[in-house]
């Protein structure tokens, strides 16, 4: 019987270790933001390139989305402001009257605008 008790104690210890490891893994991988449906590696690369270059987004929102002249986008700020990506795309496309946010309709393609929105949501 002593052998059986040791096995049960070892099993309980292993279950405890597995529970802790699983919890740590879930916390390390978890995010409170939903991934953008349809986003691809190519779209992410395009979004990052347009954000940093042609779109001049980084000049107002910061290279990492931390804000500056324009509001903070990083850390879920953009998804808090625009839970639906379509609303964010409308802002990028049409600008915001009375603010420094310009309209990018005609300056960026619809594909570039969507890629930028997806990229900003990943910051």
- Per-residue model confidence as pLDDT tens digits over 9-59: 655 544 444 444 343 343 334 444 444 455 688 898 999 999 999 999 999
Q: Are 20 and 91 in contact (CB under 8 A)?
A: no
What pLDDT, in 10s, does the model give residues 54-94? 999 999 999 999 999 999 999 999 999 999 999 999 999 99
Q: Is 65 exposed, middle or buried (0-12, 13-18, 19+ CB in 10 A)?
A: buried
SS3 of residue 108 by DSSP: strand
Q: Are 118 and 106 in contact (CB under 8 A)?
A: no
Average pLDDT value for residue range 101-111: 98
Contacts of 9 (CB under 8 A, 6+ apart): none
Q: What is the pTM of this model?
A: 0.68
List, in sequence order, every beta strand (DSSP E) within the chain.
none
**Least confident segment among 11-15, 111-115, 119-123:** 11-15
């Amino acid at each position: 019987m002593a052998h059986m008790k040791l096995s049960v104690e070892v099993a309980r210890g292993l279950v405890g270790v597995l529970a802790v490891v699983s919890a740590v893994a879930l916390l390390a991988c978890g995010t409170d933001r939903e991934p953008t449906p349809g986003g691809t590696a190519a779209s992410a690369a395009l979004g990052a390139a347009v954000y940093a270059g042609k779109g001049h987004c980084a000049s107002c929102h910061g290279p990492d989305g931390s804000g500056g002249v324009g509001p903070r986008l990083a850390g879920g700020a953009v998804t808090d402001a625009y839970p639906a990506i379509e609303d964010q795309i409308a802002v990028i496309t049409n600008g915001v009257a009375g603010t420094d946010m310009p309209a990018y309709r005609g300056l960026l393609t619809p594909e570039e605008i969507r890629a930028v929105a997806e990229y900003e949501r990943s910051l």
